[in-house]
Amino acid sequence: MPNQKNPLFLNIAGFNIKINFKSTEWEFALKLKEKEINKFWKGFITIEPVKVDFTLNFVERSYLEVIYKKKEKKQFMSFYEEKNSKEINTFYQVSIFQFQVILRQIISRLLTNNGFILHGSASNIHGRAFLFTGDNGAGKSTTMKLLKPYYPALADDTVIIRKENCEYYLYQTPFIEKEWWVKKNNQKLPLGKVYFLKKQNFFKEEIIKERGLIFEKIIKQFWTEEDEFMSKKTKLIYRFTHSFNNFYYFYFAKNKRKLLDFIQKNEI
């Protein structure tokens, strides 16, 4: 008889995502998917919620559609399909990385009205999230790792920012990133400071007051899809840069002791 498991529920950035494992004769594939989700996203698994914001179904498909572009000599495999604006079907054959792409799509859609994803690392500084961002090579991962274990790492590459009750909060993303050891869960922290990193041989923070400049810098770190929600997301970034007041340049050197001393002296 085809096998079907009870659903799992993920709570990500305050949203509840239901994962159904539809009936399949490929029992090994069903068990593998369930095991992978419990392993890589265990910090986001929650009990059955009162409200479900999105549904993701694993369904049986004997073969997957493949599109071949002869000129480019490339093949593209279809690994999910939308049933409606709040439900997606995917297949037991997808990898964990393809599953992660699907999660990105779901989260980006759910954040349309009050949040967004940014590139950056982050640390928990006494109950507030300090965000470190900047161009490639600016030192995002370096800063976060130098602060560990004195200040727990929250992110290596991406974070979720949401506005709730007139305050901005940082949530961890569920994405598997370079620094796989970062412990992730569904908790939120008030956003403390946003640092734009600049490597130097000294330590200094300099507040940025020009809102237009802040917007230009943040939009470069804005992770998004080119979709129908792009204009809404851009407006959210604009509101963030014009209502949040703790944007700074952070000049720093690769010196753990001095970095820790500086952070301790300049907490909010």
Q: What are phi and psi of 267, to 5 degrees?
A: -70, 155
Torsion-angle region of residue 115: left (phi > 0), alpha (psi -120 to 50) or beta? beta
pLDDT for res 16: 98
pTM summary value: 0.92
pLDDT for res 268: 65
Count of alpha carbons within 13 angstroms of residue 134, beta-carbon side? 20
Q: What are phi and psi of 110, to 5 degrees?
A: -65, -25
pLDDT at 14 over 80: yes
pLDDT for res 4: 54
pLDDT for res 236: 92
Q: Are 70 and 213 in contact (CB under 8 A)?
A: no
Contacts of 95 (CB under 8 A, 6+ apart): none
Other Cβ atoms closer than 10 A to 36: 13
Contacts of 230 (CB under 8 A, 6+ apart): 224
Amino acid at 218: I
Contacts of 77 (CB under 8 A, 6+ apart): 64, 65, 66, 67
Enter the tokens of residue 174.
Answer: 């569920």
Q: Are 129 and 192 in contact (CB under 8 A)?
A: yes
Distance CA 123, CA 205 (A): 17
Which DSSP helix (H) or strand (E) runs through 96?
helix 96-110
Mean of the per-residue pLDDT values for the chain?
91
Enter the tokens of residue 21.
Answer: 């494992």
- Which CATH code fits 115-265? 3.90.228.20
Per-residue pLDDT reduced to its tens digit, 168-179? 999 999 998 888
Distance CA 215, CA 238 (A): 6
What percentage of the chain reaches a pLDDT higher than 70?
Answer: 96
Contacts of 43 (CB under 8 A, 6+ apart): 172, 174, 183, 184, 185, 186
Domain boundaries, the chain: 3-102, 115-265
Over residues 16-26, mean pLDDT: 93
pLDDT at 265 over 90: no
pLDDT for res 229: 73
